[in-house]
Amino acid sequence: MEAERAAASVARPTGSQESRDLAEFRKCNPPQFAGDVDLEVADRWIRELEKIFIVLGCPLERRLAYVVYMLVGEAEHWWGSTYQMLATRGVAVDWECFRTVFMEKYFPESVRHAKEAEFLRLHQGGLSVSEYAMRFEHLARVYSQATSEAWKCRKFAEGLKYELKKVVVPMAITEFPVLVEKAKIVERL
């Protein structure tokens, strides 16, 4: 119970400006998070909130309060106990701390490694170029190694079906959207 009060005190705005800012945040229809174990849901939730923070110009010191406000059910209980544990250890609990423990809980390293391996093995197979590009970009988001646009293009082109690859690779395209569009054109021929 004490953990819930501590978490709630973090989430409660204290002045009129904070109340107006919270109202602006709520107008953006931020999604709630209930503790879904589907890593895609967790990843999408955190990205949606980050987009809202950018649009609103939300300062780092308010982000934690807004994020905690959007937790419901199991996620709210998880955060209450996690907050209490972190505070007991003397950890400075802020937005970055929340983001780190959230990702560890709902998008653990073992899952990220599996997604990275899937990305590195990805080939077009029976997918259309559009479907392959969507899957490629989805998995590329979780790939932790720094990559250049040219590397991304080479990786994508190498995964194309042979008939497409033999036409597209010699073009040496280094801009991903251009490469995808050229591959779509070749696919239609």
In the chain, where the domains are located? 2-107, 111-188
Of the candidate ranges 3-7, 44-48, 92-96, 144-148, the one whose mean pLDDT is the lowest = 3-7
Q: Which residues contact 67 (CB under 8 A, 6 or more apart)?
A: 49, 95, 98
Please give the span between the terminal C-alpha atoms of the chain, in angstroms, as a whole number. 65
Q: Please, is 144 exposed, middle or buried when counting C-beta atoms within 10 Å of its C-beta (0-12, 13-18, 19+)? A: exposed
**Mean pLDDT of the chain, nearest integer:** 88
pLDDT score, position 15: 59
CA distance 76 to 82: 10
How much of the chain exceeds pLDDT 90, in percent? 67
CB atoms closer than 10 angstroms to residue 156? 23
Q: What is the pLDDT of residues 46-58, one digit of tens each?
A: 999 999 999 999 9
CA distance 21 to 29: 13
Residue 171 has pLDDT above 80, yes or no: yes
Residue 3 has pLDDT above 60, yes or no: no
Top-confidence residue, 73 or 5: 73
Confidence band for 170, pLDDT divided at 50, 70 and 90: very high
Q: What is the pLDDT of residues 151-162, one digit of tens each?
A: 999 999 999 999
CA distance 98 to 68: 9
pLDDT score, position 13: 47
User: Looking at residue 15, what DSSP letter applies?
Assistant: S
